[in-house]
Amino acid sequence: MVLAMPSDGLWGDGSGYLPHHEKNFERWIVDDVPNAVRAALPTERVEYFPKQTFLAGLSMGGFGALRLAAKFPEQFSAVYGLSSITHLNQLPLFVEEPLSQYAQDDPVEESVLEVMIRNRSKLLPIQFDCGTDDVLIEPNRALHQGLLNHQIPHTYTEYPGGHEWPYWQEHLSDALLFFNSAI
């Protein structure tokens, strides 16, 4: 297994992994990072890439992972989100930049649920979790309910904990085990 952990492009408090400000942070994650990993792999390992490419993230990175995996399902094998932002309107909880700087031409692109509904016929295995004391617990519950309402297969789990590193350190292994089961 190769684990690549890129930042989100270092724009402001975070790019949201969205195209904006004449930079395409979305394509950076979808294209550039996998190409960099592929280039770094020994030649004999390249044949396995990208057949087993997984995407995960936490908080804003969870938003990016869930949204990008739903938008580009042919490029990934499974996706996992931890304590994920589920809609662009939650970004002000974590960034100082005005929300208008992240707005997309297509409002569907601002919602994990809407992107998943749009691409429902092509979705890959989806799993996400959230801490019961997390500021994003209600949005994650709403995403779970929305996926249930649209009969989109997924796994959602809640655990004790908040929007903090100890929670993510404890549950990162859940993402790795999920990816292992998808191989």
Each domain of the chain, given as residue ranges in start order, spans 19-182
Q: What percent of the chain has pLDDT over 90?
A: 54
pLDDT top residue among 34 and 180: 180
The domain made up of 19-182 has a fold known as Rossmann fold (3.40.50)
Per-residue pLDDT at 152: 98
Q: Which residues pair with 54 in a beta bridge?
A: 78
pLDDT exceeds cutoff 60 at 46: no
CA atoms of 142 and 18, how far apart (whole Å): 22
Per-residue pLDDT at 142: 98
Q: Per-residue b/e over 110-147, b at no fewer than 16 CB within 10 Å?
A: bbbbbbbbebeeebbbbbbbbbeebebbebbeebbebb
Per-residue pLDDT at 1: 67
Q: How many helices (H) and strands (E) does the chain have?
A: 6, 6
Q: Per-residue b/e over 12-27, b at no fewer than 16 CB within 10 Å?
A: eebbbbbbbeeebbbe
Scan for tokens 């990934």, then name that residue.
Answer: 76
What are 167-178's pLDDT values in tens digits?
Answer: 999 999 999 999
CA atoms of 85 and 14, how far apart (whole Å): 12
pLDDT exceeds cutoff 70 at 28: no
Sign, Cα dihedral of 135, 136, 137, 138: positive
Q: What percent of the chain has pLDDT over 70?
A: 80
| Average of per-residue pLDDT values in the chain | 86
